Every structure is written in C-alpha cells, then in structure tokens.
Amino acid sequence: MACGPVGWVYSHPVSNDRDMVDSGSDSVVVAAAPERCFEVASSFEQYPRWARDVKEAIVLDRDSEGRPSSVEYRASALGRSTHFILQYDYSQAPRRLSWHMVDGDIMRSIRGAYTFDQVAEGTRVSYDLAIELVIPLPGFVKRRAEMRILSTLKELKAQIES
C-alpha cells in the first residue's frame, strides 16, 4: 500500500498485474442538510452541468420508486473519452449512495459510494472509490487522474451549496 494525495490509499495486489486496483477516499463538510446532499448526488442527469469530466449521463433504468438505478456515462478520462454504465444501490438511502460498474471500456471495475453524515456545520460527505483499469498506467498519469477524481468531491460541494 502507498499513500496518495488527500487521504487516498492505493493498494496494489502483488499476485497478478491484471488485478491492480486503485482505491481511495476523501471527505468534505458541506453547508447543507444530508437530504439536500443526497438529492444533488443522486441527480445523475445533472452531472454534465457541474462535474467537469462528465460529458453525458443517460438514465437507462429506474427502480420501483422512480430513482435512477442504471446510468450510462460518457466522460473524459486520461485524455480520451470513456463510456461506462453504473448500477446504483439505494438500500441505505438517504445516508449512503453506492454504485458499481456493469459495463465499461477502459475500466475493468468501479465500486464507490457517497456517505452523508450530519455534523454541526452541516453534512460530512465522504467519497470512497475503487477502480481497476484494463491496462496499468505510469505513476505520473495515475497521479493526474487521482487529482481529477478528487476534484469531483469539490465540484459536488459547490453544486450543493449553490
């Protein structure tokens, strides 16, 4: 394991280069109620308006309560366009919103979650993410990608507080 920027910890299994997974987490306090945070975080069709790297988000399926359960994304990543489909889990809503990838082009897997905890100043939003790429990347490219991923939490905070 190696430490990365702002609380990210990267684990690299030694058993097989094909199984290399990078994971990390970060959190920020947002001046809003947890319900507002959950509402913005689960408004996936709005992501292209405020998440710089998300170019398109299309809801493919909804659950029995009308919430998006499967969303196709087109995003910029590592200097190219990537497509992937995420499946969302609302079983712990509105305290937690989690997801996993069901299809993608440059990633083998994505697992992540937002957690929303009430604190005196508003809500602590925690972001956990694990990504397994199809091909290994050089360290300097990974660091650049990690910084972009971390900026998503700052963009979410700005959108919630706007």
Task: With CA atoms as reference, report the closest residue to 72 among 98, 99, 97, 93.
Answer: 99
Handedness of CA 154, 114, 95, 28 (dihedral sign): negative
Q: Could you tell me the pLDDT band of residue 7, with boundaries at 50, 70 and 90?
A: very low
Whether the CB-CB separation of 41 and 97 falls below 8 Å is answered with yes
Can you give the residue ranges of every domain in the chain? 26-161
Angle CA 72–74–75, to nearest 5? 130
Residue 162 CA to residue 148 CA, distance in Å, equals: 21
| Mean pLDDT on 60-68 | 97
Q: What is the pLDDT of residue 139?
A: 65
| Mean pLDDT on 65-86 | 90
Q: Could you tell me the pLDDT band of residue 135, with boundaries at 50, 70 and 90?
A: confident
pTM, two decimal places? 0.82
Residue 74 CA to residue 135 CA, distance in Å, equals: 19
Residue 35 CA to residue 124 CA, distance in Å, equals: 12
Residue 31 CA to residue 128 CA, distance in Å, equals: 20
Report the CATH architecture of 26-161: 2-Layer Sandwich (3.30)
Q: Helices (DSSP H) in the chain: which residue ranges?
A: 34-41, 47-50, 139-161
